[in-house]
Amino acid sequence: MASRLRIFNVNQIINYVIHKGRPKCPVFLQPRWRSTLNAAVPPKTQSNRKLLIGAAFGAVGIGFGLYNYFLPSESKQKHTAGVALTEKVDFTRNDNIVDIKPSREISGPANNIGLDLTLYQYQTCPFCCKVRAFLEFYGIPYKIIEVNPVMRQQLKFSKYKKVPILIAEDKEASKKHQLNDSSVIISILGTFLQDVPFGLDSVLKYYVPVAYINEEGKEVEEIMNKYFLMFGDKYKESADTYLKKERQWRKWADSVFVHVLSPNIYRTYDEALQAFNYFSEVGEWEKNFSAIERLIVIYVGATAMYFVGRRLKKKHALKDDVRESLYDTCKQWMKEIGSQKKFMGGDMPNLADLAVYGMLSSIEGCLAFQDLLKNTNIGPWYYNVKEAVVNHHGYQKLKL
């Protein structure tokens, strides 16, 4: 017991709050901590991580600035298959992946696409929720590996250390490709699904990361067309405006929408507590933590995140009452859909609908979400997308 409790080092937590550790995920909480709590933390790692829970909160939103600069200009980028940037696609291949028993398996009707998919994720991370919404909408089966947010030992195989990561195993070629970043994953799979026989290998040629030095002098890799789907000869000029809008709003979800979420769920101490109780429910902490561990995680986590939320509020220049910012952002989204259409995509959700829905679903059990339903008209849209996702409406669109 003593060794388990060692992890909840209050000094570290205070240290974290005072020294403004970087929150690592806007809405995070991940369910499977049992192994963390039992594992001995090597002292070196411990000093690196200022706070057990803080370590779990995933940094977001850094580096979007430069990224804009490098985005291919809309006028230049066409959706024709154009010229593939490279013949070599093995850069995504990763043979270091260790076989870990999946935390769970999700089934779906689209089981004949020739890919075996494994999602490395945190259950309530908005980027992961977004990818799950996409996969579920199309009815694609996949396995889930819950990453331990403190040790992150499940990501050892990867140089890229964020979640979500999707491992796509080409069954025929028996090659495992590693896809990083929620929007990249969605664009690659979205392109792949339009012409499954074309093959994942061929699709990957269009999504080549480019390395550059960012504002902080760090070398980063970015896939410049990460919001673009490639249509090859199925590209229709007439769809240009529609596609442009879809891209813009997908990007908006990543760079604007996501940032109003966490300050809202941790707005007051009571709300933070309520959020953590919700995470506890979703993550089945009662089954997986001892009573005392669970309480400590909830109370300490709520306290830490309350402060983190206030920092994020400042950082993203949200309104004094962060609810107002949440309502504004959602109203902006609903205004864009207008009153004529069910979804931004028309009768069916498109990738922008799925992105915003997926991220919003990460806070579904929180008070902020209930307030949002009361104070805006986003509810009907939200539940319409949910229905389409849960019932795999995208599956009918697939030509398999």
Ligand X SMILES: *[C@@H]1O[C@H](CO)[C@@H](O)[C@H](O)[C@H]1NC(C)=O
Residues that bind ligand X (CB under 6 A): 31-32, 91-92, 94, 158-160, 178-180, 207, 209, 283-284, 287-288
Residues 6+ apart with CB under 8 A from 188: 179, 200, 203, 204, 207
Between CA 356 and CA 368 the distance in angstroms is 16
Q: The tokens of 221 are what?
A: 């890799």
Please identify every residue annotated as catalytic. Answer: 122, 125, 127-128
Residue (163 or 188) nearer to ligand GSH, CB: 163
Element (H, E) at 5: helix 2-5
Residue (283 or 345) nearer to ligand X, CB: 283
Strand pairing class (142-146; 115-121)? parallel
Continuous H helices in 206-350 = 240-252, 258-265, 269-282, 285-288, 291-315, 322-337
139, interface contact from ligand GSH, ligand X, none, CB < 5-8 Å by kind: none
162 binds ligand GSH per the rule CB under 6 A: yes
Q: What are phi and psi of 364, to 5 degrees?
A: -55, -35
181 binds ligand GSH per the rule CB under 6 A: yes
163 binds ligand GSH per the rule CB under 6 A: yes
CA-based max dimension of the chain: 66
Give the range of 39-47, 162-170, 315-323, 347-355 binding ligand GSH by CB under 6 A.
162-170
Residue (101 or 287) nearer to ligand X, CB: 287
Give the range of 20-28, 46-54, 303-311, 344-352 binding ligand GSH by CB under 6 A.
20-28
Q: The tokens of 182 are what?
A: 């929620």
| Residue 110: how many other CB atoms lie within 10 Å | 18
337, interface contact from ligand GSH, ligand X, none, CB < 5-8 Å by kind: none
321, interface contact from ligand GSH, ligand X, none, CB < 5-8 Å by kind: none
179, interface contact from ligand GSH, ligand X, none, CB < 5-8 Å by kind: ligand X
Residues lying near ligand GSH in the complex (CB under 6 A): 24-25, 28, 58-60, 125, 127, 161-164, 181-183, 254
